[in-house]
Amino acid sequence: MEKSRLRDLQYVLRHPLLVKKKENLLYLTGRSFLAGYLLVKPMNTDRSKRINTDKHRVVFFGDGLEKAERIKQDRLKNIPLYLSKAATLQLEDEFTFAEYNYIKAKCKELSAKVKIWHVKSPVDFQRAIKDETEIRLIRKSMQIVEKVFSLVRKEIKKQGMAEKRLADFIKSAGLKLGAEDVSFPPIVASGANAAIPHHVPSGKKLKAGEPVILDFGFKYKNYCSDFTRTVFLKKISAKLETVYIQVEKAYWGAIDYINHQPVSLRGAPSAAEERRGNLPLVKVKVASDYAKATSDRSSPDKALPPRNDTGITGEQVYHKAVEILFQKHLEKYFIHSLGHGTGLEIHELPNLSPNSRDILQENMVFSIEPGVYLPRAGGIRIEDLVYFKNGGANKFINVPTKLKDNIL
């Protein structure tokens, strides 16, 4: 049981929260469940009141073998018994309409006058800030990626290599190197297929001079990695060379912006950009601003993005990358966000998108992945995970981004 995480959550809640998402259950309890629900009730934040009369502040609802250690167990039908004087029950977004109606009906049967609200889970925001153990696990997952990519650079040159065959090789290699699963099905997109950001690998054979986007990641002890490189066999056209160089500039320009450095238009990493740094053992508490923002409201808790004083938002970093692509009139071919958080899920907070107000905060982990997609000609994407520490973006691994290193 992750007691500190539960306690941090309880101190920012104003209303009981029913957790369903599997990743959130894992985060709060330390174990995986096929099914189940965790009721988490607010902690008394009045320090003058030392005694909590409600002894069941955390209750797990599950059937059969679904047990949570050292937590009160019961069936979901009995949830009204644990809501005591609560006027509001919050449900995570993942709850279905049928589940909502079931809980509502059970409350009515037991004459519990409780308002039920769907909310963006506060646990999702809590998970956005990683602790030192989580960052180490993500680093290990990224190190598996780095080893697999070195193997792919050799495998891709084999005669008659096809997208599907290479994607299968990527998955197999990762599992052999210690991954428990892939973060998502590996993407291998060549030629015109590379103009489709999430192309499903086909039987198409790889050809010299065509771009080959390799996008993959692995799970290590439940934590995901995410990585993309675009490579070429033997040669590259002048048009795609121009595009590649500009995408690389956008990649490093976004990292420069986060690091409060002038954007370099050389497309080459500086020593500061290449820094990897060891993460100090620092425990980060869940953002207290969530509680402050909801302390004077009678409405249900609405999770707010964590805030700090860096002033760097996801949309600002996104627009910095767009600004660089605009120099070569490529911005209209950039058709997805610049990045996303990664952890127990491949896509989580924060978001680096056109309208994201998520503020980058210490120990957040997120991707930087600019891309340009030209119909019929193909696409270019470069991606790495970074973690935000000491006011800058720190890379987990150092796989070259320079074009000369990615012509095989």
Are the CB atoms for 132 and 279 separated by under 8 Å? yes
Which pLDDT does position 84 carry in this prediction? Answer: 77
Tokens of 393: 């973006």
The whole model's pTM is what? 0.85
User: What pairing do the DSSP bridges indicate for beta strands 17-19 and 88-92?
Assistant: parallel
For residues 408 and 233, is the Cβ–Cβ distance under 8 A?
A: yes
Look at residue 69 in the predicted model and tell me its pLDDT.
66
Where in the chain do CATH 3.90.230.10 domains reside?
132-406
Walk along the chain (408 residues) and give the pLDDT tens digit of each residue: 578 899 999 999 999 999 999 999 999 988 888 888 999 999 865 544 444 445 678 889 986 445 666 678 889 999 998 987 778 999 999 999 999 999 999 988 877 788 999 999 999 999 999 999 999 999 999 999 999 999 999 999 999 999 999 999 999 999 999 999 999 999 999 999 999 999 999 999 999 999 999 999 999 999 999 999 999 999 999 999 999 999 999 999 999 999 974 343 333 444 333 333 332 222 233 333 333 333 333 344 433 334 344 479 999 999 999 999 999 999 999 999 999 999 999 999 999 999 999 999 999 999 999 999 999 999 999 999 999 998 899 999 999 999 999 999
- Least Cα distance to 129 among 315, 353, 357, 307 occurs for 307
Residue 349 in 3-state DSSP? strand
Q: What are phi and psi of 131, to 5 degrees?
A: -95, 180
> Which residues in the chain are classed under CATH 3.40.350.10?
3-127
Q: Are 129 and 363 in contact (CB under 8 A)?
A: yes
Q: Are 273 and 256 in contact (CB under 8 A)?
A: yes
DSSP 204: P
The SS3 call for residue 124 is helix
Sheet holding 223-224: strands in order across? 181-182, 218-220, 223-224
> Tokens in use for 310?
């860096």
Residue with tokens 């470069």: 382
Tokens representing 182?
């892939």
Other beta carbons within 10 angstroms of residue 47's beta carbon come to 6
CA distances from 204 to 161, 200, 376 (A): 9, 11, 15
Tell me which amino acid residue 182 is: V
CATH 3.30.70.120 describes domain 132-406:
no
Residues 213, 139, 11, CA angle at the centre, nearest 5°? 115
CB neighbourhood size of 203 (10 A): 8
What's the pLDDT at 74? 87
User: For residues 12 and 288, is the Cβ–Cβ distance under 8 A?
Assistant: yes
Give the Cα separation of 95 and 182 in Å (integer).
Answer: 26
Q: Partners of 60 in the beta sheet?
A: 38, 73
Helices (H) and strands (E) in the chain, counts: 9, 19
Q: Which CATH class is domain 3-127?
A: alpha beta
Give how far Cα 185 sits from Cα of 152, 166, 216, 338, 404, Å. Answer: 16, 12, 7, 20, 28
- DSSP for 77-104? GGGGGG-TT-SEEEEETT--HHHHHHHH
Length of the chain equals 408
The three-point CA angle 195-201-205 to 5° equals 85
